[in-house]
Amino acid sequence: MTDQSVINRDRTVAERKREKRDPQQRRAEILAAAFACFAERGFAATRMEDVAARAGIAKGTVYLHFPDKERLFTELVSGIASPILGEIDSLVHNEAIPPRFAVSMFYTLFRREVLETERRHLLRLILAEGPLFPAVTEFYHREIITKGLTVLRILLKRAAERGDLRNPLLADMPQIVMSPALLAIIWTTLFEAYEHLDTQKLFDTFLDTLFVPARAAPEGATP
């Protein structure tokens, strides 16, 4: 058997192994490759063939799982937001949990799941390239921003009813709660090399501007 025959045989075996791979595993591998490409090159510059090459598969295989680059990107973004929104949503339905604590958990999850990971690059891309790709921006607003604002409206309304907000009108402006998270993304992208931003201190300080100080329990009351 010639060397070329051996090479061809090995390629055939490798291709068959790839074809037998579990579809969900293949999908996850494509998403991982897409994430790396988007983070390195940006959304506009990334091509489907780049993703295929990174994943070690044919371009046609990528299209079997994702019809276009926009769908690839939106799947990645959903993967980032779902854990955060899911956990915060569970806090909303427990009225015994103070609204301040629930909002604090939102910031904690954002820092842990996004800001302190490579996932922050995807949000940076949305800010930088979103206007050029309205379908991606519309998806992000519909599936993530709108859901997040709905949760925050419930929390802020509850806080206003309990007298926990410094300004009750904040209940109508849940976008304000998102502002330090966006600032953290912008700052770490542009200015962190020149001046460090303590994001935990940022979030804690912002909570103090939203909520009144916790009221002390009456003397003699059982904690």
Domains of the chain in sequence order: 20-65 (1.10.10.60), 69-210 (1.10.357)
- Residue 197: pLDDT over 90: yes
- Residues 6+ positions from 83 with CB-CB distance below 8 Å: 109, 113
Token pair listed for 193: 């090399």
pLDDT band at 221 (very low <50, low <70, confident <90, very high): very low
For residue range 117-164, list pLDDT tens digits in order: 888 888 888 888 988 999 889 998 998 899 889 999 999 999 999 999
Contact status, residue 55 vs residue 36, Cβ threshold 8 Å: no
Which among 117, 93, 91, 113 is positioned nearest to 104, based on CA atoms?
A: 91
Q: How confident is the model at residue 13 (pLDDT cuts 50, 70, 90)?
A: very low
- Report pLDDT for 76: 87
Section 23-28 average pLDDT:
89
Positive or negative CA dihedral for 102, 105, 109, 110? positive
Q: Which two tokens stand for residue 154?
A: 């419930």
Kindly state the average pLDDT of the residues 164-169. 95
CB 39, CB 51: distance < 8 Å: no
Name which of 72-81, 171-180, 201-210 the model is least confident about: 72-81
CA 6 to chain centre: 45
11: helix, strand or coil = helix
Average pLDDT estimate for 181-196: 94
pLDDT at 5 (0 to 100): 55
Residues 81-98 have pLDDT tens digits of: 777 788 888 888 888 899
pLDDT tens per residue across span 45-78: 999 999 999 999 999 999 999 999 999 998 888 8
Q: In this model, does residue 223 exceed pLDDT 50?
A: no
Q: What whole-number distance in Å separates Cα of residue 6 and Cα of residue 125?
A: 44
* Mean per-residue pLDDT of the chain: 85
Q: At residue 94, what is the residue type?
A: N
pTM score: 0.78
pLDDT at res. 59: 92
Give the CA dihedral 11, 12, 16, 21, nearest 10 degrees.
0
Q: Given pLDDT bands bounded at 50, 70 and 90, which one contains residue 202? A: very high
72 backbone dihedrals φ, ψ, rounded to 5°: -55, -50
d(CA 107, CA 113): 10
Distance of CA 107 to the CA centre of its chain: 12
